[in-house]
Structure 1
Amino acid sequence: MVKLQNVIKRFDQHTVVHDLSLDIQKGEFLTLLGPSGCGKTTTLRMIAGFEHPTSGQIMLDGEYVQEMAAYERNVNTVFQSYALFPHLTAYENVAFGLRVKKVAKAEIDQRVKQALRLVQLEEYASRKPDQLSGGQRQRIAIARALINNPKVLLLDEPLGALDQKLRKQMQVELKHLQKQLGITFIFVTHDQEEALTMSDRIAVMNKGFLEQVGTPTEIYEQPATRFVAEFIGETNMLTGTVRVRTSQRILVDCEGLQVSASPSSVAESDTVTVAIRPEKSTLSLVPSDDRRLVQVPGRLTERIYCGGMTKTVVTLRNGKQFVALEKTDQLLPVVEGDELFVHWDPQHGVVLTR
């Protein structure tokens, strides 16, 4: 549905999007994810037509649109600020685009009521924006964007102004709405959990470059770069030199700790980083008898209560800190300074090269 080909965007001498190529499928929920200033909103604005690429091509449903004005493209945008007209009712805000197009009054009434029904706000039609909650205003903005039947709906951090509880609720509602309509959604956020919850695929951006594109599972379980591994969730990083490489595993010397990981296309003597998610590791008071596991000794440094789970920080013998997760009602009987062992399955160690 959307195709970006070697898109570059510069402001003066500063390049904010570097040679970006990305295909977005029809009916897909794709999220552009990254920190502030990574180029994700600029990319969205180029698809919308609010910015034009310095070079490269943008296709929408098979048609090149990079030279088209925003109003000529069959896309609509939902902004974080909602951009509702404060003097108009919810009904009038949703109807605005159709009235500009001089659609017949009877058709406008039918389509507006249908759009309000879709976002479950029929009974709020006569209210003005300042009489609505943040979540309701956001739904009105979505209804206004959807009423013109766009091929692509662009959403620029539309949940950013909501409180945490409402934000989580709206994530579920927005994903359900997208599946119901079958419209291509391109969603911009810097919130990793939000991206993992809602997306069919995630495109991770960093300093204007596309780091990795994949499903939430692929992005989380098999990060392609160190940036992705660190940006998505919490990750332990152990850097060292490859000492042994076989078809089954690699052995990495991490400042005196011998760590094995899943096989990778690296060579002996290469410097690599092994990434291990906290939930992939376990703790014990004594060494494990399972020789298949990676096992490193350390001392308890800190415990951080997180409700049902507790983050346990262990200082390894090489001085590096390692975070593991324990169930709060099953904590090991140790105190700060006590020795314990961290272990994990080598296949859960993801090898990242420089």
Structure 2
Amino acid sequence: MSLEEELKKDNFVITTQINLNQFKSPGDVLKYAESVSPFVDAIIINENLTTDMGMSSLAISHILKDTGVDIIFNFCGNSHSKRKMSSLVTTSWFLGIRNLCISENNTHLFNYKGDSEGKKGISVDEMHSVINSMSAGKAHDKMEFLIGSIIDFEEKPFEATIRHFERDIKIGATFFLTSPVYSSKIINSLTATGLAKKVKVIANINPSRTVHELEALRKHDERIVSDKLLKEIKKIRNNEEKMLKCLALMMRNIKSSVAGFNIVGTKNQIIKLFKLAGLKSRLKKNVSSVSFNPQRLNQVLEARLTLREFEKAYIMRVLKTTSGNRCKAAELLGIHRNTLMRKCDEYNIKL
């Protein structure tokens, strides 16, 4: 069942995110994704990430679809022009990625560096406009995505966060990923607005950032984090077992207020939190059951394109993005200019 179907049926969802910089090869990423796939409904990949694996995060996201887990692909607006955003969204669609999360700036939610640092790009409103035009079939064939957004309680005062939440609902977001949340008061404050009736809030749980997050939340609203809780957490910050037990208790307390959790951690931490927070019943399958299934080709071939057709379409998009500059296009494609010229002749590409 897709993430969209899970949310529509009000099923409790679990997501996680992968820091691609922690892996040496796409194969290692795939193995990790397969190992956590029994516990999660979707995996978040950040589009702004630069990797040393010779593949873009978008291409790796396509490979991860073979795990049977949905991909949530996060776009950051300050790294894109409208044209580049349109090209990336189109590529996502052809690669079978149907869940997009958008944010105006790089956020510590992902806890790693992207390509967009220090750049100015398009706003969240403009990003929604690009995606909505595609969903309406105005720019390309009709493309329908599940759109999410990020709520970061550390970035701005709580009142501003609520305004951000309401704005994104109005322009099309149907689910929200938060920075780590440890209090139902926060979620209830967000969802108290009438605009939030149909949206889903997925609360982030991150063992490695717990103390930092609680201190940041306390600065914004002392009612959310008590002195007692902060002192308890600081005492056990170096004891993983006690920290996970404390987080699991918090998860139990807010479980009824959220649509799911985004658990950031190692495979073992995810498994322990599942057990401690009473989420064991959500296990969908055994890890050992992940194997090759010919039916997965349906996901790989969703766009119904041959490799030649996809290569032609990709070359055309890159050439359009570079305004026909073949030297720049060849550089972006990672091939020699003469090779690009030959492929343009072979595919009869004329721009």
Q: Name the TM-score, length of structure 1 as normaliser.
A: 0.29
Asked which structure has the greater CA Rg, the reply is: 1
